[in-house]
């Protein structure tokens, strides 16, 4: 069965790739992922705080920047032991031991300082770079225009810095989501990953403290990814990697039918182990065989909203169907 897929201009043997997470900081684990059928791996992110900390340490600047304020010392201490040198050595080792593409990742929310570090990913031998743009409009003073401007600045500057293919990993916090996603895809990048996942916040009522909620997705989280993949895949001028809520081979098939170029998995590997990749791959192949498809291109995007179709009407139709059928 031919599951070959071209993603970010790179040939993959499978559209199922492992998203950035703790498991992709471990080269032995990544070798297991390749054996289990992963088409590529996105390495655990380097965080902007790590880069800023490294710059300060090496230039002996101690004052935190405005971006970090009082939380800087906490963040710096938290990430300090995870040195960038070790990270880039890990990428080099992954490149030596894997035959599948290795995609570097930066988690960032501002555009200063860290851009020069993108070059280091290139030097370490990464095949592409995914930028996890964790820009959330938390401040009452932040406007939609501020967020959009930051995206534009980061993407433009980065494109000038490196020749690697670039994918932008976005969240769902855009006021005009379809327009923004399309505009990002027009900026000369090679891919958009939809969606990243902000850490969910919970409250411990006994301790009366804030704490993190579960970091894993729920299977129902797929539906938001599926909706936006179907809406956007025919409107973007770059590849689309669908991420969040993928737990089964059927989920992979659905996202490909909606027009995804690749499908990323993370939570299901934490829950079921790396061998899950084999189950997803076999399930995809079995479905293709049953349906008589000899390549993914034969069905990719079959159920995407067409460019000449009014997206709002397509979504309204689904809405009406749902509410008309439920009494
Ligand atoms: C333990 C864990 C660590 C993660 N670390 C990163 C990271 O370093 N960079 C990143 O871009 N995304 C990170 N993510 C987010 C995943 O790449 C992915 O976008 C998210 O989990 C949704 O996919 P899923 O539903 O398959 O889990 C992490 C997720 C988990 C569960």
Average pLDDT, the chain: 88
| Nearest alpha carbon, ligand 1 atom 24 | 244
Task: Specify the CATH number for 5-325; select among 3.90.870.10, 3.20.20.70, 3.30.460.10, 1.50.10.20.
Answer: 3.20.20.70
Domain boundaries, the chain: 5-325
Residue 203 to residue 212: CA distance in whole angstroms: 8
212 Cα to the center of ligand 1, angstroms: 14
Q: How far from 230 is each of 16, 108, 224, 260, 263, CA to CA, in Å?
A: 18, 27, 10, 8, 13
Instruction: List, for residues 173-186, the tens digit of each pLDDT value.
Output: 888 999 999 999 99
pLDDT given for residue 80 in this prediction? 47
Instruction: Give the residue from 83, 136, 78 showing the smallest Cα distance to 110.
Output: 136
Secondary structure of 46-79 in the HEC alphabet?
EEHHHHHHHHHHHHCCCCCCCCCHHHHHHHHHHH
Q: What does DSSP say about strands 201-204 and 5-7: parallel, antiparallel, or unpaired?
A: unpaired
d(CA 152, CA 149): 5
Q: Atom 2, ligand 1: which residue's CA is nearest? A: 21
Q: Render the burial of 288-299: b for 16+ CB within 10 Å, e for the rest.
A: beeeebeebeeb
CA of 197 to the centre of ligand 1 (A): 7
CA–CA distance, 279 with 100 (Å, rounded to integer): 19
Pocket test for ligand 1, best of 198, 266, 269, 270 (most atoms within 8 A of CB): 266
Find out whether the beta carbon of 241 lies less than 6 Å from any atom of ligand 1: no
| Ligand 1 contact via 45 beta carbon (within 6 Å) | yes
- Say whether pLDDT at 74 is over 80: no
* SS3 label, residue 209: strand
Distance 259 CA to ligand 1 centre (A): 22
User: Is 22's C-beta closer than 6 angstroms to any atom of ligand 1?
Assistant: yes
Are 262 and 12 spatial neighbours (Cβ–Cβ below 8 Å)?
yes
Is any ligand 1 atom within 6 A of the Cβ of residue 276? no
Can you say whether the dihedral through the CA atoms of 186, 147, 50, 40 is positive or negative? negative
Q: Ligand 1 pocket, 215 CB below 6 A?
A: yes
Alpha helices in the chain, H assignment, sequence order: 27-36, 48-59, 72-80, 84-97, 115-123, 144-161, 177-185, 222-232, 249-257, 267-272, 276-291, 311-325
Best of 41, 197, 245, 260 for a ligand 1 pocket test (most atoms within 8 Å of beta carbon):
197
CA–CA gap between residue 280 and residue 273 (Å, rounded): 12
CB distance 243 to ligand 1 below 6 Å: yes
Q: Per-residue pLDDT tens for 250-305? A: 999 999 999 999 999 999 999 999 999 999 999 999 999 999 999 999 999 999 99
Q: Is 262 in the pocket of ligand 1 (CB under 6 A)?
A: no
Q: Which of 43-47, 58-62, 135-139 has the lowest mean pLDDT?
A: 58-62
- The neighbouring-strand residues paired with 108 are 133
Question: What is the reported pTM?
Answer: 0.90
pLDDT at 40 over 80: yes
Question: What DSSP string describes 14-34?
Answer: -SEEEPSSGGGG-HHHHHHHH
Q: How far is the CA of 60 from the centre of ligand 1 (A)?
A: 33
**Rounded mean pLDDT of 31-53?**
90
87 lines ligand 1 (CB under 6 A): no
Instruction: Give me ligand 1 centre to Cα 62, in Å.
Output: 31
**Is residue 44 lining ligand 1, measured as CB closer than 6 Å?**
yes
Dist. CA 267 → ligand 1 center (Å): 7
Cα gap 127→13, rounded to integer Å: 15
- b/e for 102-139, b at 16 or more Cβ within 10 A? bbbbbbbbbbbbbbebbebbbebebbbbbbbbbbeeee
45 C-alpha to ligand 1 centroid (Å): 9
Give the span between the Cα atoms of 52 and 120, in whole angstroms: 15
Q: Do 91 and 126 contact (CB within 8 A), yes or no?
A: yes
Ligand 1 contact via 244 beta carbon (within 6 Å): yes
Task: Report the pLDDT averaged over residues 31-47.
Answer: 96
Q: What's the average model confidence in pLDDT over 135-147?
A: 86
- Closest to 55 measured CA to CA, from 7, 97, 112, 136: 112
**Pairing relation of β-strands 201-204 and 46-47?**
unpaired
Measured in residues, the chain has a length of 327
């Amino acid at each position: 069965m031919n599951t070959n897929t071209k993603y970010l201009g790179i040939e993959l043997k499978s559209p199922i790739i492992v998203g950035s997470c703790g498991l992709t900081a471990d080269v032995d684990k990544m070798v297991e992922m390749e054996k289990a059928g992963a088409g590529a791996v996105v390495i655990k992110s380097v965080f902007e705080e790590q880069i800023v900390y490294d710059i300060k340490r090496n230039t002996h600047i101690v004052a935190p920047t405005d971006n970090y304020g009082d939380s800087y010392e906490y963040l710096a201490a938290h990430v300090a032991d995870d040195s960038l040198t070790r990270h880039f050595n890990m990428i080099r080792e992954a490149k030596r031991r894997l035959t599948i593409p290795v995609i570097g990742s930066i988690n960032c929310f501002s555009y200063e300082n860290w851009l020069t570090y993108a070059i280091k990913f290139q030097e370490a031998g990464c095949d592409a770079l995914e930028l996890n743009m964790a820009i959330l409009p938390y401040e009452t003073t932040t406007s939609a225009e501020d967020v959009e401007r930051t995206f534009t600045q980061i993407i433009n500057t980065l494109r000038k810095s490196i020749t690697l293919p670039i994918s932008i990993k976005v969240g769902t916090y855009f006021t005009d989501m379809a327009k923004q996603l399309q505009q990002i895809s027009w900026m000369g990048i090679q891919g958009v990953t939809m969606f990243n996942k902000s850490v969910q916040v919970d409250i411990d009522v006994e301790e009366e403290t804030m704490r993190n909620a579960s970091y894993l997705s729920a299977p129902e989280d797929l539906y938001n990814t599926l909706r936006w993949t179907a809406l956007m895949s025919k409107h973007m001028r770059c590849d689309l990697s669908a991420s969040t809520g993928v737990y089964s081979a059927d989920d992979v098939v659905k996202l490909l039918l909606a027009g995804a170029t690749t499908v990323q998995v993370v939570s299901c590997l934490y829950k079921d182990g790396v061998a899950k990749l084999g189950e997803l791959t076999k399930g995809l192949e079995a479905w293709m065989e049953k349906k008589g498809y000899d390549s993914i291109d034969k069905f990719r995007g079959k159920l995407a909203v067409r460019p000449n179709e009014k997206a709002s009407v397509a979504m309204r139709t689904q809405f009406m169907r749902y509410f008309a059928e439920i009494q």
